[in-house]
Amino acid sequence: MILDVARLMLFPALMAFAAASDLFTMTISNRVSLALVAGFLVLAPLGGMGLHDMLLHLGAGATVLVVAFGCFAMGWVGGGDAKVAAGVALWFGFDHLLDYLVYASVLGGALTILLLLFRQWPLPSQLFRQEWLSRLHDKQTGIPYGIALAIGALMVYPETEWIKAVDLAHLAML
């Protein structure tokens, strides 16, 4: 039961925190990425994932980390975004990685377009006092891709074995 609750709560909570953090501060703490790795390393063996599958998941995470840090080096994404994307890939493995990357890319593009449009209009003076909103409106700041990464991850997560293994009938009786 505790394993099921952890599967239902940990990953989505970390994604929500990453998205909110990126929205309000334009940063994602390393603690989020470390918690993703630690959560995987604890829950995977407890949930019965074999060593071979764990290594495949680690390979997916490492692959995304290398590519994402290439994107970071080019200035296309932030370092926190790169680490969160790798952490998500660790949880999803290669089985769900393509779906995740497609969702995150489409959502990232939509977010970029919306922010570019938002930044074309003057910010009302009442809203200008909100530091996070002023930063988001500033044309010199980047795009908080952590939002798209998190929403994409939350769209794919219900299709993974992490959720399919949860005994919802047992949890509903509690």
Could you report the per-residue pLDDT of 105-120, keeping only the tens digit for each? 999 999 999 999 999 9
How does pLDDT run across 1-33, given as a tens digit for each residue?
A: 788 889 899 999 999 999 999 999 999 999 999
Output the six-digit token pair for 113.
């377009």
Q: Into how many domains does the chain fold? A: 1
Tell me the residue range of the domain where 29 lies. 2-172
- Tally of CB atoms within 10 A around 27: 14
Give the contacts of 88 (CB within 8 A, at least 6 positions apart): 15, 36, 64, 100, 149, 153
SS3 12: helix
Residue 89 has pLDDT above 60, yes or no: yes
- Entry pTM: 0.92
Averaged over 37-47, what is the pLDDT? 96
Q: Answer with the residue of higher pLDDT: 173 or 20.
A: 20
Q: How many helices (H) and strands (E) does the chain have?
A: 9, 0
Q: How many CA atoms lie within 13 A of 2 on its CB side?
A: 3
Averaged over 32-58, what is the pLDDT? 97
